[in-house]
């Protein structure tokens, strides 16, 4: 009984692999470049790509459970559909798919709409899967910590509705627990959806206040300039992706990213411990 993890060297995927390894699972990791993979001892590394059907078919031989993670790339939707069809062809009936919270609400945001399309395929094809729907990752704050420290502002235009930010380590552990629940079940389990949220719902002002407290000086929230955010993002990513990020930020401002009643309690029970807090995460990366 083997669990195949895609995206195994990324932020979430590496946490999934680590948590599975701690629990003694038989793990196969699909990676583009095995020479760069730094994974726990005993993990079987296979080279492949989600658009390379031959490598996918090879990687899925003998696999009982699949963790499907697709990066935000231009052909993300195609990658996911090909991977799921290949899994179905290989007889894999136990799947955990990493989607995103409010994929059915942020319908104009390309990488949200694509994930919702994948969810629809899973449902309409009658696949047995857990669909994990994480909110905004705390780990994204790592990319802006120098700007916060250097300019004294919190630059993410996240608005005042609130985002229930979650730590990628919590995502990885919850995903591993779901993979093992499906892997160890005598029969394939029906489809289920789980919102992955943190214990705090942060606005732009409250995030800036926490950074102020941790750094011991005033950090301001300059407001919701999504156009300026897009231009800043264009320095680090392709124009289409920066525009995608802007559209997402506009939905942060208009809709927020809020948990549903019971989400935090459900995750706390699943983990057997409290979820990691935003303040603790900020203190860690600011150190």
**pLDDT tens across 153-187, in order?**
999 999 999 999 999 999 999 999 999 999 999 99
pTM: 0.96
- Sort 202 into a burial class: Cβ within 10 Å, 0-12 / 13-18 / 19+: buried
Planar angle of CA 65, 47, 38, nearest 5 degrees: 85
Digit-coded pLDDT (tens) for 105-160: 999 999 999 999 999 999 999 999 999 999 999 999 999 999 999 999 999 999 99
List of E strands, 69-119: 94-98
The answer to whether residues 103 and 110 touch, using CB atoms and an 8 Å cutoff, is: no
Q: With 0-12 CB in 10 A as exposed, 13-18 as middle and 19+ as buried, what is 174?
A: buried
Direct distance between the N- and C-terminal alpha carbons of the chain, in angstroms, rounded to an integer: 42
User: Can you tell me the mean pLDDT for 9-16?
Assistant: 95
Q: Give me the sign of the Cα torsion angle 99, 102, 104, 107.
A: negative
Provide the residue ranges of all domains of the chain, joining segments of one domain with +: 2-134+167-196+259-275
Distance between CA atoms of residues 119 and 105, nearest Å: 13
* 2-134+167-196+259-275 topology per CATH: Rossmann fold (3.40.50)
Ordered alpha helix ranges (H), 108-203: 110-124, 145-151, 168-184
């Amino acid at each position: 009984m083997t669990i195949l993890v895609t995206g195994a060297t990324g932020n979430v995927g590496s946490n999934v692999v680590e948590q599975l390894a701690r629990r003694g699972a038989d793990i196969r990791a699909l990676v583009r470049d095995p020479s760069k993979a730094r994974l726990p001892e005993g993990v079987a590394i296979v080279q492949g790509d989600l658009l390379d059907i031959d490598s996918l078919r090879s990687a899925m031989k003998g696999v009982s459970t699949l963790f499907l993670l697709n990066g935000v790339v231009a052909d993300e939707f195609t990658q996911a559909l090909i991977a799921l069809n290949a899994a179905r062809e290989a007889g894999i009936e136990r799947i955990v798919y990493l989607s995103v919270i409010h994929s059915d609400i942020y319908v104009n945001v390309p990488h949200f709409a694509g994930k919702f399309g994948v969810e629809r395929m899973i449902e309409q094809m009658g696949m047995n899967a857990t669909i994990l729907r994480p909110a905004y990752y705390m780990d994204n704050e790592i990319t802006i910590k120098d700007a916060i420290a250097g300019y004294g502002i919190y630059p993410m235009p996240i608005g005042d509705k609130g985002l229930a930010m979650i730590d990628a380590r919590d995502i990885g552990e919850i995903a591993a627990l779901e993979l093992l629940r499906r892997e160890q079940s005598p029969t394939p389990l029906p489809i289920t959806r789980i919102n992955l949220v943190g214990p705090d719902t942060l606005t732009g002002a409250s995030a800036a206040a926490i950074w102020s407290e941790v750094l011991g000086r005033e950090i301001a929230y300059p407001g919701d300039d999504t156009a300026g955010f897009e231009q800043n993002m264009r320095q680090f990513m392709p124009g289409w992706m920066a525009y995608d990020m802007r559209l997402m930020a506009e939905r942060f401002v208009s809709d927020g990213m809020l948990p549903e009643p019971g989400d935090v309690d459900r995750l706390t029970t699943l983990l057997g411990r409290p979820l990691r807090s935003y303040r603790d995460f900020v203190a860690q990366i600011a150190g």
